[in-house]
């Protein structure tokens, strides 16, 4: 009887320690995730804003360059077409 009581006592205490250990593990994982989130908030957000600002500048510059190049190609096409049209007119009607 005495041995059974001691075994039950030990079993209950081990189970209680297991419950406490699991709870502490959960608290530890939550604390670590919060700490990682804090690091991301402190370090990543300002650099993300800087990256977004630089990226928008690059995109704006690329759009402007594309617009200028397309305008220059159109002007060059019209200029060459005018030369070919004048040349054809000279070939048909002469000077």
C-alpha atoms less than 13 angstroms from C-alpha of 16 in its C-beta half-sphere: 6
**95 pLDDT exceeds 80?**
no
Q: Read off the pLDDT of residues 72-92 as tens digits, 9 standing for 90 and up.
A: 999 999 999 999 999 999 999
Please report, for the chain, the start and end positions of each structural domain, with discontinuous segments joined by +.
1-68
pLDDT 10s digits, 11-63:
888 888 999 999 999 999 999 988 888 877 888 888 888 899 999 999 999 99
């Amino acid at each position: 009887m005495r041995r059974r009581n001691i075994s039950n006592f030990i079993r209950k205490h081990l189970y209680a320690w297991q419950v406490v250990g699991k709870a502490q593990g959960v608290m530890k994982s939550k604390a670590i995730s919060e700490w990682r989130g804090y690091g991301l908030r402190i370090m990543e957000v300002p650099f993300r804003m800087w990256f977004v600002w630089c990226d928008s500048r690059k995109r704006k510059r690329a759009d402007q360059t594309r617009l200028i190049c397309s305008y220059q190609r159109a002007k060059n096409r019209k200029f060459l077409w005018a030369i070919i049209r004048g040349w054809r007119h000279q070939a048909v009607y002469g000077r």
